[in-house]
Amino acid sequence: MLAVTYDQAVQSRFARTTTDGKNIWRSVYFGPPPSPPSSSSLLPDRSDVTYIDPAPGEKRAPQAFLIQQEAGATVHPHFHFVDQFQVVAAGSGLLGRHALAPLSVHFSAACTGYGPIEPGDQGLSYFTFRASADETGAQYLPAAKDQMRPGKRRNVIVDQIAISDEDELANRTETNSETYRDDPDGLAVILYRIAPGGSAQCMDPAAGKGVTLLVTAGSIEINDKVLPGWSCCFLDAEQDRPGLTAGSSGAEVLALRYPQTPATV
């Protein structure tokens, strides 16, 4: 199990500047960088980094990173070569014409175009999670359209899951879960609301290609690790279902499971 806190991840934070002179910050939690730090990956041109498909049986590291866009810092329409989730943590904005706010969840299958991502007046912060790394950066459209692999395109959006405040967390007496997505291919989005000192059993990573957990409020203990708010961890599909134990103030944990079969197969 990989597990990293916000305080650990923010040590890697750095910014790139858009063509409009606005900043987009990136903090890596785990996995290889999603694009070379030296690349000009914000320019809406064709990428100069080639994606190489995994060899048969090759297992690539998962990725988790936090993006923080200043107001006016637009990310142009693009795609990636792997399945991914994105979760809005703060601010507001638009994904295409779709309004974003915490906790909006977006799943995009490999080689599925989406965007632009336009932050609101207070900026926009969101996590990106992948079960298998893609280090080539954004493949901007239409410049990289000929690089798309054949297959089914898929965008899934879950609107603005409510996060409890400190009083609601501390006063919760029952633990429950809310299922926002549970598809036959394994893709799932579940929020666990755990009472102070209570426990919940995580969804089964083996029903998909693994699970990413995001602590959205309070803190949890998992496999003897204490994870405060905005910590992330990844559970491989071969791992047993872990228990999630809340701290003394309660916890809320967003669980995201990747589909079994990539949409391009």
pLDDT in tens, the chain (265 residues): 899 999 999 999 999 988 888 999 999 999 999 987 766 556 666 667 788 888 888 999 999 999 999 999 999 999 999 999 999 999 999 999 999 999 999 999 999 999 999 999 999 999 999 999 999 999 999 999 998 888 889 999 999 999 999 999 999 999 999 999 999 999 999 999 999 999 999 999 999 999 999 999 999 999 889 999 999 999 999 999 999 999 999 999 999 999 997 544 3
95 and 65 belong to one structural domain: yes
Co-location of 130 and 206 in the same domain? no
pTM of this structure? 0.94
Kindly state whether residue 264 falls inside one of the protein's structural domains. no
For the chain, what is the domain count?
2
> Does residue 12 form part of some domain?
yes
Radius of gyration of the chain (CA): 18
- Residue 99's DSSP bridge partners are 94
Establish if 13 belongs to a structural domain.
Answer: yes
**Same domain, yes or no, for 179 and 253?**
yes
Same domain, 41 and 122: yes
90: its two tokens? 């703060």
Nearest to 131 by CA among 186, 192, 89: 186
Separation CA 213–CA 101 (nearest Å) = 19
> Do 142 and 31 have their domain in common?
yes
Co-location of 221 and 144 in the same domain: no
Q: Which of 67, 252, 244 is nearest to 163 (CA)?
A: 252
Q: Cα torsion at 233, 117, 153, 35 (round to 10°)?
A: -60
Please, which residues bridge with residue 246 across strands?
Answer: 220
The answer to whether position 84 is within a domain reads yes
From 91, 123, 158, the end of a domain falls on 158
- Provide the residue count of the chain: 265
- The CB density around residue 11, as the number of other CB atoms within 10 Å, is 8
Whether residue 25 is found in the same domain as residue 129: yes
Show which of 104, 131, 158 is a domain's final residue: 158
Among residues 104, 138, 158, which one ends one of the domains?
158
Q: Specify if 53 maps to a domain.
A: no
Q: Do residues 259 and 209 lie in contact, with contact meaning Cβ atoms separated by under 8 Å?
A: yes
**Residue 127 shares a structural domain with residue 39:** yes
Summarize pLDDT for 173-196 with one digit per residue, the tens: 999 999 999 999 999 999 999 999
Is the same domain home to 36 and 66? Answer: yes
Say yes or no: 253 and 222 in one domain: yes
Q: Please tell me the distance from the alpha carbon of residue 148 to that of residue 49, in angstroms, as a whole number.
A: 14
203 found inside a domain: yes
We report the CATH number of the domain holding residue 153 as: 2.60.120.10
- pLDDT tens-place string over residues 69-99: 999 999 999 999 999 999 999 999 999 999 9
Q: 170 in a domain, yes or no?
A: yes
- C-alpha 236/C-alpha 233 separation (Å) is 10
Q: Are 146 and 174 found together in one domain? A: no
Burial annotation 106-139 (CB, 10 A radius, 16+ → b, else e)? bbbbbbbbbbebbbeeebbbbbbbbbbbbbbbbb
Structure-token match 């969840």, residue found: 105
Domain around 231: 166-257
- Say if residue 228 is in the same domain as residue 99: no
Cis check: omega of the bond before 95, within 30 degrees of 0:
no
